[in-house]
Copies of this chain bind each other. A is one copy, B any other.
Amino acid sequence: MNLAPRPDQATDDACRTPAGPTALGAEEAQQKALVFKALADPNRLRLLSIVKADASGETCVCDLTAPLDLGQPTVSHHLKILVEAGLLRREKRGTWAYYSLVPSALDDAAGILGDL
């Protein structure tokens, strides 16, 4: 690859950086992609938004099922993914389950983009 000189640039190795020492490794990339996988669904973004907007800081599942146009098992599934991604925290009190934002988890995700 790339043995001939290029039209518009110097022919030295400046452009041929193999994988810059500062670039992301394969494992780190896979790790970091997990958070964005969790954020890559509109319904999950709405769930996060609702939980964040809730004044009490804790939102019951029954209040998350209605606004989204989804069945209860599906909402439960999305919530599980958000918990596993470290974005939400689940606390069960009696029959009800309350979800709350993990403090600074969203900021951490934003931070990933800052120092890619």
Residues of A within 8 A of B (CB): 1-2, 6-9, 14-20, 22-24, 26, 29-30, 32-33, 36-37, 39-46, 48-50, 52-56, 58-60, 62-63, 65-67, 69, 93-96, 106-107, 109-111, 113-114, 116
Docked complex Cα distance between A60 and B18 (Å): 11
Question: What are 25 A-B pairs at a CB distance below 8 A?
Answer: A1-B66, A2-B60, A6-B94, A7-B95, A7-B96, A8-B94, A15-B54, A16-B63, A18-B67, A19-B66, A20-B50, A23-B46, A24-B49, A29-B42, A29-B45, A29-B49, A30-B42, A33-B42, A39-B39, A45-B116, A49-B116, A52-B116, A107-B114, A109-B110, A110-B113
Taking the nearest CB of chain B, how far is it from the CB of A111, in angstroms? 8
